[in-house]
Amino acid sequence: MKAFFIERYGKQNGRIGDLPEPLVGAHDVLIQVRASSVNPLDLKIRSGEFKMILPYQMPLILGNDVAGVVLSTGAAVKRFKPGYEVYARAPDNRIGTFAERIAVDETAVALKPANLAMTEAACMPLVALTAWQALVEVANVQKGQKVLIHAGSGGVGTVAIQLAKHLGAFVATTTSTANVAWVKALGADVVIDYKQQDFANELRDYDVVLNSLGGDVLEKSLRVLKPGGQLISLSGPPTAQFAQEQGLSWLLGVVMRLLSSGIRRKARQHGVGYSFLFMRADGIQLQKITALIEAGVIKPVIDRTFPFDQIADALHYVEQGRAKGKVAIAANLKSPSP
């Protein structure tokens, strides 16, 4: 089958070529890929940033999100049948959605929202699960609480704003000048233009901050939280608890404890909590997200759609950091759409 894969780590690596068909285990669903999408995680995996946490074998097919049609199922699969339209975030240890077909454990798969096209559905799993696990599972956001979501125009940010509003939160976000009106339309109550304002001087007494940016923003975020608040970071530094949850070695646990010691200490000084979130595949949570999508609560935001044979261009476009929402990969398009 055709796939986009790397044979070694590096920022510009990757090509389309022929690789063996995926092996379908007893609990797997074999999906004909109709669409996928690009996430910053794909770039980090390609560059080798996560090779200590996720030790992949080469050649490695990239891609974490998929929407498509079930071709066949393993003997133990009960919930899905050939012909079902599904979507998923492939589990960490078996990524590879930039391909014609992929086998995914059924526990990571959900029925595709009926009101979304394949490209729209493929843009949702990773970012929506990230927002869900941060706001619902970790933060347990309640009606009336105040939530700051950094990078509101990004893939996670666009979904997190919509989900936080659904949960009844008062939502602030940060973005650039060009996107202020745009993120307000997503539901943000307060929008901080980071080119003209410093969010740490503008916001106070927030219950939750969801951070996906660098260390300077991470530390400044402590100042906007009320005592007992929670700082949840998608960009690190990882903690020893994360190492334990991932089943990493004792040594890596020690390293991560040291890496996060500074921000954890400062969080304690401010009377707030710090946690690092590395989202996981979860079909049950994704099915709950499907219900919200079909109810019109959450809508996908797509910047551009590239054809399969231009995946390298799509990765480069996302690497520039200016995409609004997600960048989709479609199976049978000839040129990128604006």
- pLDDT tens profile 45-60: 999 988 888 889 999 9
- Is residue 109 within 8 Å of 78, Cβ to Cβ? no
pLDDT at 190: 96
The residues near 236 (Cβ < 8 Å, ≥ 6 apart) are 259, 260, 276
229-276 confidence digits (pLDDT tens): 999 999 878 888 888 877 888 888 888 888 888 898 999 999 999 999
Distance CA 82, CA 200 (A): 52
**Lowest-pLDDT range of 139-143, 221-225, 258-262, 299-303:** 258-262
Residue 127 near residue 137 (C-beta atoms within 8 A): no
126-276 in CATH: which number? 3.40.50.720
pLDDT at 338 over 50: no
Distance CA 195, CA 193 (A): 5
Mean pLDDT for the stretch of residues 185-194: 95
For residue 84, name the pLDDT band (cuts at 50, 70, 90).
very high
Q: How many Å apart are CA 24 and CA 26, to the nearest integer?
A: 7
Query: Mean pLDDT for the chain?
Result: 93
φ, ψ for residue 66, nearest 5 deg: -150, 145
Domain with CATH 3.90.180.10 in the chain: 2-124+300-330
pLDDT score recorded for residue 21: 96
The residue count for the chain: 338
Residue 153 pLDDT > 60: yes
Residue 335: predicted pLDDT: 41
Tens digit of each residue's pLDDT (9 = 90 or more) over 25-39: 999 999 999 999 999
pLDDT of residue 332: 64
Residues of the chain with pLDDT > 90: what percent?
80
DSSP string, 5-64: EESS--TT--EEEE-PPPP--TTEEEEEEEEEEE-HHHHHHHHTTTTTTS-PPSSEE---
Instruction: Give the pairing type, strands 302-307 and 326-330.
Output: parallel
CA distances from 6 to 63, 111, 168, 286 (A): 11, 30, 43, 28
| Dihedral angle computed from the Cα positions of residues 97, 312, 4 and 100, in that order, rounded to the nearest 10 degrees | 50
- What's the CATH class of domain 2-124+300-330? alpha beta
For the chain, where do the domains classified as CATH 3.40.50.720 start and end? Answer: 126-276
The reported pLDDT for the residue numbered 210 is 97
Over its C-alpha atoms, the chain yields an Rg (Å, rounded) of 20
Bridge partners of 30? 72, 103
Residue 334 has pLDDT above 80, yes or no: no
Ramachandran class of 247: left when φ > 0, alpha when ψ lies in -120 to 50, beta otherwise: left
Is residue 298 within 8 Å of residue 292, measured between CB atoms?
A: yes
Does pLDDT of 120 surpass 50?
Answer: yes
Question: Residue range 61-70: average pLDDT?
Answer: 98
pLDDT at residue 143, as a whole number: 97
pLDDT of residue 237: 83
pLDDT tens, position by position, 295-315? 999 999 999 999 999 999 999
* pLDDT tens track for 86-109: 999 999 999 999 999 999 999 999
pLDDT band at 333 (very low <50, low <70, confident <90, very high): very low
Quote the CA–CA distance of 116 and 33 in Å, as a whole number: 15
Task: Give 302's DSSP letter.
Answer: E
